[in-house]
Structure formats: C-alpha cells, structure tokens
C-alpha cells in the first residue's frame, strides 16, 4: 500500500520525482530496488490495523515482528489507555513501537516526520511517548535511547535557531513588498529560500548537527548572503544602508538572463564587504571574527559546492527544496522546512502566559519591577561566550613575564618543554575537533584551542602565585616538570572553553544534553586518565575567580562524573593506588577511615600536593610544613622522598584520601536522594544501607571496576530491603532512580557482568553483587548486625567561593557579589544583565546602602564566613532562618542565641534520643521474630 499523502503547505509538498524516490527508498543500506512487501501470511497473528500501519511505513517483516513483540510486552505491563491519556492510543503506540524496532534493527524505511504525521503525533508527544514506553529495563534499548536523545537535541537546536531566524528576519525584512507589482521576490519568498539554504548548508558543513553555536554562526552567514542579494525595497535599516554598496554592483535582471538557466557564472573571489555581517553580529550580540571565520572557511566552500559562489541571484526555493529532500530522506529525521509553515508536527509546548500573570507578588506595596526578558538558548550561548572573551581579552597566547620568571627560577627551565607540549596538544585537539564537527571546521577548532591556551597560562600563573604565598618559595621545579599536571591543566582550560560553546552544558536535564564534544571527550583526545584530571579541578576553580557560577557547576559535574564511573575504569591509576594502600595499611584501614566521614570536608590541599605527593604522612601539619620549608627547590612537594621512607608507617596517599572523602560524600548524597523517594516509611534502613554501601566502596572496590557508583547503591538498597523483608522491587528502584538528577538509562540497562558481557542491573545483582557479598548481606538479618558506619556530613559543594552571591544577614532578598567591572562592560551587557545590575532612584536612599554595608560587616556576618573555614563544626550557630521576614540581624532579637535556636537545639536532641530508642526497639523486635 503506498504511503498517505500529507496535507501540508506548498513548501512541504514533495515533487513527483521526490514521491517516486519516497516510494522506492530502500530500508536497509546497500540493498538496491524497492522495499520488499510485507508477507501478510506471516502476520496473521497480529491485528490487521497494525499490519496496515506497517505497510504504510513500508517496514520489513523483521521490523513488523519486533514492533509487535514490543507492543505485547507493553500491554502485559501497563494499562495503555492510562499511559498517554489521549485518543487513538493504539495507533500512536504502534507508530512508536515501529520506530523503536526499526532503530534497533538499523532498518529505518521512514522519516521521523512521516511516522509522526501517519499516526498523528507532534514532536513533543512523540518524545514523551517514547519515554513513557520505557516501563521495563528491556523495553527500550540503550541504542534506541541514544538515538532518541540525539533526535531530541537536534530538534531543540533547530527550534532555537528557527525562533531566532524569525526574530532576526522581522528586523531585516519588510513583511510585504511596498509595490504589489514588483517583479522581484517578496520577503516571505526570500525567507523561505534563506531557511532552506541554511538547512542545506548545516547538513553539508556540520557532521555534528546539534552544535548550536556554529550552526547559528552559519545561519548569520546565510542571512548575510541573502541580504546582499535582496531588493532594497524589502530591507529595513540598518541593513538597507549596509547592503547599498553591494546593490550598486549587482547585475541587471537582463544581464542575468543572458547567462541561461543551465549556465553558471564564473567563480569570483569571496565578497569581503563586511558591513552587513557587522550589522548582523551587532544585532545578535555575536563576535564578528568568529562569524567571519565560519564564512571564509566553511560557508564559501559550501556555496561553491552547490554552484552558488559566483551568483548574484536569490536561489530558487524549489531548487533548494529538492536538494534538501535528498538530505532529509538520508538522515530520516525531521523535515525542518515545516517550521516555515508553523506545522503542528514541529510545534513546541506553549507556555500559558495568563498563569504567569496571576502569580502573586511577594510584596504588593513595592514598586513594580521591570520584567526580565527570557534567556533564549541562542542569547544564553552568546552571553556565555562574551563573558569568556572578556575574561581572556587581556590574556596572552604565550607565558607572561611573571610566568617566565617562575620558569627561570627552576633548576632546569621548563619553557621549551611546555611550549612543545602545547604545540603537540594543539595538533591532537584540532584533528579530533575536525573529525567530530566537520573537516571544514578546522580553523574553528584552532580558535577554541587558542582560548584554552590563554586560560591555561592565566590559571597556571595564578596557581604558582598562590603556592608562593602559601610556602614562601619561588622554585617550582618538580611541579613545572610534571607532564600530567600540565596536560590536566590545559585539558581543564579547554573543557571550560568547549563547555562555554555548548549551550546544553548548562541545561538542567543532563540525560539529553550530551554531545560528541561533551566531557569526557577532552580526556580521550589527550589520552588523559580521569584520576589525574580530577586532581586539578578544585585548584583550577580557586585560581580563576572570574569563572561564572554555571561554569563552576559544570566543572563540579565533571568531578562527579569522574567519581561516579570514569575513574573506576579498569585502566585507571586509582586501582594501583588502592593496591599500594592495602599493602601498606592492610585491609583494615584503606583509603579513608569511616570515622572521618561525619566531619566537614575541609582541606588545604592544592594541585601541587595531589600531583607531587602521591604518598604523604598523616602526621602533624607543622612537621610537614617544616619539612617543606627545608627542601629548597622541591619544597612545594611536601616531605621529601627520604623523609617519606623514614616515616614508612601509616603513610597515606593524599590524592587517594581526598578522592575517597569526596566519593563517600557524593555516594551518600545520591543514596539519600533515592532513599527519600522510596523508603520514607522505613528511616531506620538508611543507616544500614549506607553501611553496606560504604563497606563495598572501601573493601570491595573491585566491584566498581568498569561500573558505576549508582549500580552499587541500587544493589545495596535492594539487598538490605530483601533481608529486612521490605517489599521493594528493582523495577520500583529504577523508576525512582530515573527521577534523580544526572542519571542515564545506561546505568541500569547496560551493566558489566563479566568481561565482554553486559546485562541489566538485576542480572548484575544476582550474578555478581549478591554472590560476592552474600555473607556480609546476611549479617544484617542477624540479631547482632555489624557496627554501622558513620553517616557522612551532608555534602555541599566545596566550590562556593567569593564569586558566588551570598545573602546579607538581616535581609530576605539582598545578596552581594564581588564587583567584576570587566564583565559589566556595556559592550557585553545583555538586556537581561542591564536590568539585573540597574539600581534606580526608587531603590532607596544612601542611608539604606549604609545599613546594608553595616550588615555585611557585622559580627554575625564575620562569624558566618569564619565558620566556613574553621575546622571545628558548630552546626547550630551556623543555622540561620528567616521567620516572617525577620531574623536576628534586624535589631528585634538579642545578640545571643535566639529562642528559636534554643528550641531547635532541644528538638534536635529529642529527635536524636527518639531515633536511638527506635533503633533499639527494632533490634529487640527483630530478635523476637527470629526466636519464634
């Protein structure tokens, strides 16, 4: 049965040739001829409407069978009508099942837009349905999840680009031609051709089509191309003035006709008039140099490949559409031309503005505040790039004079070695960047590497300056000759740059934000071990105070990824350190004693400590500092190798100890979040689950090899619930796990069982985890269970430095941040940032500002800041709550401990006693049940 024709706007209608190609497309790459018809005899066991849908989508027998199997699995697992809550659910679900089956079998015979239109689903409904279908761990494979994630990311990028395209065109073109009899094209025709040419260029230039920044820069190149060829009557200022010089040299219509339809104009050098481009970049807050680079290195080559390089005419929309169809059918995803007609297939979910307007104000007596314009993806990306550029504007591509002095103070000057390493890393980076994004983007990769090098030298100088102040030395020979340190530092700088250019880095939904260039891509480029990279992250953040809050959070997320899984890969140096630790300390005390877990995570270790003191004595710090000061050229490395040898008892690896401290806190935070979703009614179990979890991390770390921290967490939770006779199934655990931040389907669907064999989390538990820890797990069912491990101090980010806003005591809504004059330059301020930093006359008098200053410098404020660096935790004095808009600093309460704090202390003490009694009672009850 031939496919149904779509009722769409003219731009979406396929030509006769395209219809023929549409019908004759092969389902399996490399198979010539028509798609084989479904064998109806083989599908008599299926519902006729389902088979009919398979015929409409031209699928193979194998796809039809697998799709029906998926459907039957769903029917057996859940009420389908309730699953989606819309009419005609069977047909919609069948379409999704067919898509899943075709993706799994690499036998896609239809495009995403075709299946959506055939079953009546728009893109948002389509993605939501696929997510809801994943009811079992084997319904949707990791392969399909990856494909859907890429489709979702591509759609988000296309939507963001089209929305910006529409807004920009609204400022460029007059909606309707002034002269109805004008023989030239009107604005709508030009926009249609412009968008289609952009889609064609994007598909040909970029291998990684979900790159928002390069795609947007390419879009500006296409807009510039059309503005220069548009009639002046359809252009608005300032683009009309900018294009005047081009129009004066444009051939007349008669002279263009003389070329003939089949003839091409002779190629001519690329247009170097940048006035239109500068106007576009100014309008869109984009860097001219970067857009110009995309134009000359990528766009000009594309124009030449499609025969448009020397033409002064506006390309025909039909011709461009035919070329795009080939690309669209090959990619088998969205028909992005439908954006032009606002086709409901590609429409996003609309926000109910009326609901926003009805949101109550905090204080109706306050003057109305100006609305803050929303941060669109493109604007957010451009703003992040501008902030990075401002930070690095004064930085150099080469070591500064201060760095050169540090180099010259070394026993052997490392300048030549450092420079050579940078050159080698540049070649590696640019090659891998071009392979990921597109060979025509080599120069773009080079630009980004330069920014990374500037940040690398800038942070290195800041680190050395801090080390000089800390240790009162200037000779850093060992540190500056350490290749791992330099590679990690430059890789971290490049990660900052790459993440800045990837808008999805700062999105909240991490599961769909990964791209080909996402972390840990940078580690693979330089063959850098994650455990070595982790050592530089904290010092990097401390050394660069201009990093934005979003970038600090991203680097913290990179650190978490390392602790969760990347550092546990089988080739990680972490396992060698653990082996050495076991040999030196014995199995009783490895990595980090559990007794240290309930202390705050506070330390003064720097990157120099972590890279150069792999083994360090835990003796008094004063001894360490004294030893450091006596070592001359090697003072920054801590105790010398001789002193390490003489103090061979109870030596610890500084990097390993700090790593485990952070792992424990991250692990407990993840457990605490999952526990709150699932076992609120059994609070006594959290401590027990944590004890088994912590025991595994400390004594059975081999279970983590090539696995994920969360896999151990879920297994520990299931094991304890099993021995405690709590009905908690893995399916329930996985369902709740999906709701946690920073989770991936692969974590519970693709778990290592043994070398080369992977299965679900259930198979891992049954075949590996339970077998390894059976004896230990059963102890928790005993009347005398093992001693419980201390609960770690609830982890909070260690990266809350001076650049993060802090609330002023005595206020509800006053926050202070250090002034960054460079970032507040008018040239880089967006409409949003202008409003955020604008303080009008209505804000208050000078007396109010004086009061704020007094609150900032008050003793309470000093106490709060001092406690953050004090090793002795004083939790009750750190807690400060606003009650009905008031707190201790407003003068209404005494300077001593408030009644509220006293009450809080009493409640805490009472709760602790109740909790202890409850645990004792539970143990007694368990004992009685065992006797019976």
Helix/strand/coil for 862: helix
User: How confident is the model at residue 239, as a pLDDT?
Assistant: 86
Q: How many residues does the chain have?
A: 932
pLDDT in tens, 544-577: 999 988 899 999 999 999 999 999 999 999 999 9
Of 478-487, 573-582, 674-683, 843-852, the least confident: 843-852
Task: Judge contact between 803 and 547, C-beta under 8 A.
Answer: yes
pLDDT in tens, 899-928: 555 555 666 666 666 666 666 555 445 433
User: Domain 377-564 is in which class?
Assistant: mainly alpha
User: How confident is the model at residue 857, as a pLDDT?
Assistant: 56
Nearby residues of 215 by Cβ (< 8 Å), 6 or more positions away: 157, 161, 202, 206, 209
Q: How confident is the model at residue 368 (pLDDT cuts 50, 70, 90)?
A: very low
Q: How confident is the model at residue 94 (pLDDT cuts 50, 70, 90)?
A: very high
- What residue spans in the chain does CATH classification 1.10.472.170 cover? 40-140
- Parallel, antiparallel, or unpaired: how do β-strands 751-754 and 806-807 relate? unpaired
Of 140-149, 476-485, 626-635, 825-834, the least confident: 626-635
| Most trustworthy range by pLDDT among 393-397, 597-601, 771-775 | 771-775
**Residue that is written with structure tokens 């720097």 in the block:** 606
User: How confident is the model at residue 290, as a pLDDT?
Assistant: 92
Q: How confident is the model at residue 507 (pLDDT cuts 50, 70, 90)?
A: low
Tokens representing 74 are: 């769903």
- H or E element in which residue 47 lies: none
Residue 166, number of CB atoms within 10 A of its CB? 14
Task: Judge contact between 32 and 26, C-beta under 8 A.
Answer: yes
Q: Is residue 452 packed enough to be buried (19+ CB in 10 Å), middle (13-18) or exposed (0-12)?
A: buried
Q: Name which of 156, 40, 27 is nearest 103 in CA terms.
A: 27
Task: Judge contact between 747 and 715, C-beta under 8 A.
Answer: no
Q: Is residue 585 packed enough to be buried (19+ CB in 10 Å), middle (13-18) or exposed (0-12)?
A: middle
Q: How confident is the model at residue 131 (pLDDT cuts 50, 70, 90)?
A: confident
User: How confident is the model at residue 271, as a pLDDT?
Assistant: 55
Q: How confident is the model at residue 823 (pLDDT cuts 50, 70, 90)?
A: very low
- What residue spans in the chain does CATH classification 1.10.472.140 cover? 150-177+184-245+273-346
User: How confident is the model at residue 527, as a pLDDT?
Assistant: 96
Global pTM reads 0.76
Q: Name which of 66, 60, 14 is nearest 34 in CA terms.
A: 60
We find that the CATH architecture of domain 40-140 is Orthogonal Bundle (1.10)
What is the Cα gyration radius of the chain? 32
Across the chain, mean pLDDT equals 76
User: Domain 654-781 is in which class?
Assistant: mainly alpha
pLDDT in tens, 164-189: 999 999 999 886 544 444 445 688 88
* Rounded distance between C-alpha atoms, residue 363 and residue 427, angstroms: 58
* Rounded distance between C-alpha atoms, residue 514 and residue 676, angstroms: 27
Helix/strand/coil for 23: helix
User: How confident is the model at residue 838, as a pLDDT?
Assistant: 38
* 849 or 327: which leads in pLDDT: 327
3-state secondary structure 521-578: HHHHHCCCCHHHHHHHHHHHHHHCCCCCHHHHHHHHHHHHHHHHCHHHCCCCCHHHHH
- H or E element in which residue 758 lies: strand 757-759
Whether the predicted pLDDT of 390 surpasses 60: yes
Q: How confident is the model at residue 200 (pLDDT cuts 50, 70, 90)?
A: very high
User: How confident is the model at residue 362, as a pLDDT?
Assistant: 40
User: How confident is the model at residue 208, as a pLDDT?
Assistant: 81
Whether the predicted pLDDT of 225 surpasses 80: yes
Peptide bond into 520 cis (omega under 30): yes
DSSP per residue, 351-365 = P-HHHHHTPPPS-TT
Whether the predicted pLDDT of 856 surpasses 70: no
Of 148-162, 590-604, 633-647, 684-698, the least confident: 633-647
CATH code for residues 150-177+184-245+273-346:
1.10.472.140
What percent of the chain shows pLDDT beyond 70? 65
Task: Judge contact between 520 and 566, C-beta under 8 A.
Answer: yes
Q: How confident is the model at residue 769 (pLDDT cuts 50, 70, 90)?
A: very high
**Residue that is written with structure tokens 């501008």 in the block:** 386
pLDDT in tens, 458-498: 999 999 999 999 888 889 999 999 999 999 999 999 999 99
- What residue spans in the chain does CATH classification 1.10.472.10 cover? 377-564, 654-781
């Amino acid at each position: 049965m031939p496919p149904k024709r779509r009722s769409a706007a003219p731009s979406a209608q396929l030509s006769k040739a395209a219809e023929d190609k549409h019908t004759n497309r092969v389902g399996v790459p490399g198979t010539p001829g028509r798609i084989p018809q479904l064998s109806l005899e083989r599908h008599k066991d299926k519902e006729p409407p389902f088979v009919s849908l398979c015929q409409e989508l031209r699928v193979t027998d194998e796809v039809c069978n697998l799709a029906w199997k998926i459907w039957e699995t769903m029917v057996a697992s859940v009420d389908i009508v309730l699953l989606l809550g819309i009419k005609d659910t069977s047909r919609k679900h069948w379409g999704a099942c067919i898509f899943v089956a075709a993706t799994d079998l690499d036998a896609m015979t239809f495009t995403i837009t075709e299946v959506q239109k055939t079953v009546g689903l728009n893109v948002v409904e389509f993605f939501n349905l696929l997510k809801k279908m994943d009811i079992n761990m084997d319904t949707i494979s990791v392969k399909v999840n990856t494909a859907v994630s890429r489709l979702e990311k591509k759609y988000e990028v296309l939507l963001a680009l089209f929305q910006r395209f529409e807004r920009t065109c609204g400022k460029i073109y007059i909606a309707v031609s002034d002269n109805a009899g004008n023989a030239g094209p009107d604005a709508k025709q030009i926009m249609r051709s412009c968008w289609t040419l952009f889609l064609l260029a994007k598909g040909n230039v970029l291998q990684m089509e979900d790159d928002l920044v390069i795609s947007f820069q390419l879009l500006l190149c296409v807009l510039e191309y059309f503005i220069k060829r548009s009639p002046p009557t359809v252009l608005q200022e300032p683009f009309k003035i900018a294009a005047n010089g081009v129009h004066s040299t444009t051939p007349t219509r008669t002279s263009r006709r003389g070329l003939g339809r089949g003839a091409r104009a002779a190629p001519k050098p690329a247009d170097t008039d940048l006035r239109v481009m500068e106007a576009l970049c100014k309008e869109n807050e984009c860097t001219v140099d970067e857009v110009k680079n995309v134009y000359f290195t990528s766009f000009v080559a594309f124009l030449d490949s499609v025969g448009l390089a020397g033409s002064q005419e506006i390309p025909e929309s039909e011709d461009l559409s035919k070329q795009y169809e080939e690309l669209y059918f090959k990619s088998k995803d969205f028909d992005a031309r439908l954006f032009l007609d606002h086709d409901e297939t590609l429409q996003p979910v609309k926000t109910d503005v009326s609901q926003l307007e009805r949101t109550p104000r905090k204080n109706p007596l306050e003057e109305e505040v100006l609305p803050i314009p929303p941060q669109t993806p493109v604007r957010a990306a451009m703003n992040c790039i501008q902030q990075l550029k401002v930070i690095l504007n004064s930085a150099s591509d080469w070591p500064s004079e201060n760095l050169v002095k540090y180099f010259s103070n070394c026993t052997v000057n490392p300048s030549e070695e450092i420079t050579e390493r940078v050159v080698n890393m540049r070649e590696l980076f640019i090659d891998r960047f071009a392979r990921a994004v597109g060979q025509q983007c080599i120069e773009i990769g080079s630009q980004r590497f330069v920014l990374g090098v500037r940040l690398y030298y800038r942070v290195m100088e800041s680190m050395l300056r801090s080390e000089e102040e800390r240790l009162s030395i200037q000779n850093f020979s060992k540190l500056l000759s350490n290749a791992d340190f330099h590679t990690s530092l430059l890789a971290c700088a490049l990660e900052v740059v790459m993440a800045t250019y990837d808008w999805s880095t700062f999105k909240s939904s991490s599961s769909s934000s990964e791209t080909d260039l996402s972390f840990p891509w940078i580690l693979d480029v330089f063959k850098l071990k994650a455990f070595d990279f982790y050592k530089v992250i904290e010092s990097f953040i401390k050394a660069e105070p201009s990093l934005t809050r979003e970038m600090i959070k991203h680097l913290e997320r990179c650190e978490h990824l390392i602790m969760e899984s990347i550092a546990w890969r089988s080739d990680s140096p972490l396992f060698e350190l653990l082996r050495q630790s076991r040999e030196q300390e014995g199995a009783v005390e490895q990595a980090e004693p559990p007794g240290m877990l309930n202390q705050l995570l506070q330390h003064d270790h720097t990157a120099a400590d972590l890279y150069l003191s792999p083994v360090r004595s835990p003796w008094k710090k004063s001894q360490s500092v004294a030893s450091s000061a006596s070592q001359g050229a090697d003072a920054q490395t801590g105790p010398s190798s001789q002193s390490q040898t003489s103090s061979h008892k109870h030596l610890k690896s500084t990097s390993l100890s700090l790593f485990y401290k952070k792992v424990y806190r991250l692990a407990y935070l993840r457990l605490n979040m999952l526990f709150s979703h699932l076992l609120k009614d059994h609070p006594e179990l959290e401590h027990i689950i944590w004890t088994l979890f912590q025991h595994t991390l400390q004594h059975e770390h081999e279970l983590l090899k090539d696995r994920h921290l969360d896999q151990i967490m879920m297994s520990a939770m299931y094991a304890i619930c099993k021995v405690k006779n709590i009905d908690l199934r893995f399916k329930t655990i996985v369902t709740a796990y999906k709701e946690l931040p920073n989770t991936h389907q692969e974590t519970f669907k693709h778990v290592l069982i043994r070398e080369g064999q992977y299965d679900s989390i259930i198979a891992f538990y049954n075949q590996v985890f339970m077998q390894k820890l059976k004896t230990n797990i059963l102890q928790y069912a005993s009347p005398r269970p093992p001693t419980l491990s201390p609960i770690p101090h609830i982890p909070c980010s260690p990266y809350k430095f001076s650049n993060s806003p802090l609330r002023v005591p005595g206020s509800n809504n006053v926050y202070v941040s250090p002034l960054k004059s460079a970032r507040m330059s008018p040239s880089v301020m967006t409409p949003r940032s202008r409003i955020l930093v604008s303080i009008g006359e209505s804000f208050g008098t000078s007396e109010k500002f004086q009061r704020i200053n007094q609150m900032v410098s008050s003793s309470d404020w000093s106490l709060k800041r001092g406690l953050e660096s004090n090793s002795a935790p004083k939790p009750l004095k750190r807690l400060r709550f606003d009650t009905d808009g008031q707190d201790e600093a407003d003068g209404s309460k005494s300077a001593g401990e408030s009644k509220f704090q006293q009450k809080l202390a009493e409640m805490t003490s009472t709760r602790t006693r109740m909790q202890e009694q409850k645990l004792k009672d539970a143990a007694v009850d368990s004992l009685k049940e065992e006797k019976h």
